[in-house]
Amino acid sequence: MLLTVLAAPAPLLAQPVVAQRVVAADPATLGPIPAPKGCVGMPGAPRDVIFDVRGGALPVAALAIEITATHAFVGDLDAELIAPSGLSAMLFSHTGIGAGADPLWGANVHLDGTYTFADTASADWDAAADVTHHDSPVIDSGAYRAALAATFFGAPSVGRWTLRLTDRCETENGVISAAVLRVTTLQTTRQ
């Protein structure tokens, strides 16, 4: 008698399956970025741009944020992304310091376009604002590197995310006209 042994197929290696949510900012939270009285280095009231992320409470695998904004002096502007849990990461602050800009105020270049901040981007924000090498008074639209995964990886994705913009000088003003948050979550694993 011949005995045939059939091997069971090897299980699939555990592979993460990701899902991406694209969430536009609440339009009521867009608009002018409040400036303080004077230029004392203290920020004005923040412009909090809100993103309500809904769905299953899945952990963050990656994030990207896209903003469309204008501002006459980017060195005065701070941009911070805040998770529903309170974790936060600075997208930019005192832009250009150390890259040829004024050490107190930052780069005297403008925002006028759409800017994406993500871990996967290769362009450096401060280098783009380098006043000693910049060919234009406006930072080019495009994707810029931001260390978001180090802060948000594994955090709950669902809830109210906030993009907080603050201005430190009243003489140059700005407006945020659009923003989109892209949240990639670890959805499940296959076995």
- Cα torsion 137, 142, 145, 146 to 10°: value is 90
Among 48-57, 126-135, 168-177, where is mean pLDDT lowest?
126-135
Q: In the predicted model, is pLDDT for residue 153 greater than 90? A: yes
Considering only CA atoms, which of 84, 44, 67, 94 is closest in space to residue 180?
67
| Local confidence band at 112 (pLDDT 50, 70, 90 cut-offs) | very high
Rg of the chain over Cα atoms, rounded to whole angstroms, equals: 21
Q: In the predicted model, is pLDDT for residue 12 greater than 70? A: no
Q: In the predicted model, is pLDDT for residue 8 greater than 80? A: no
Mean pLDDT confidence for 7-25: 65
**Integer angstrom CA distances of residue 77 from 29, 33, 61, 93, 109:** 17, 9, 28, 6, 11
Compare 29 and 41 and report the one with higher pLDDT.
Answer: 29
What are the tens digits of pLDDT across the range 53-71? 998 778 999 999 999 999 9
Instruction: Tell me what pLDDT residue 3 has.
Output: 37
| Local confidence band at 39 (pLDDT 50, 70, 90 cut-offs) | confident
Q: In the predicted model, is pLDDT for residue 190 greater than 50? A: no
Q: How far is CA 76 from the centre of its chain?
A: 18
Instruction: Tell me what pLDDT residue 85 has.
Output: 93
Domains and CATH numbers, the chain: 20-190 (2.60.120.260)
For residue 22, the cross-strand partners are 182
Mean pLDDT of the chain: 82
Instruction: Tell me what pLDDT residue 75 has.
Output: 82
Residue 28 burial class via C-beta count within 10 angstroms: exposed 0-12, middle 13-18, buried 19 and up:
exposed
Cβ atoms within 10 Å of 154's Cβ, excluding its own: 10
Q: In the predicted model, is pLDDT for residue 141 greater than 90? A: yes
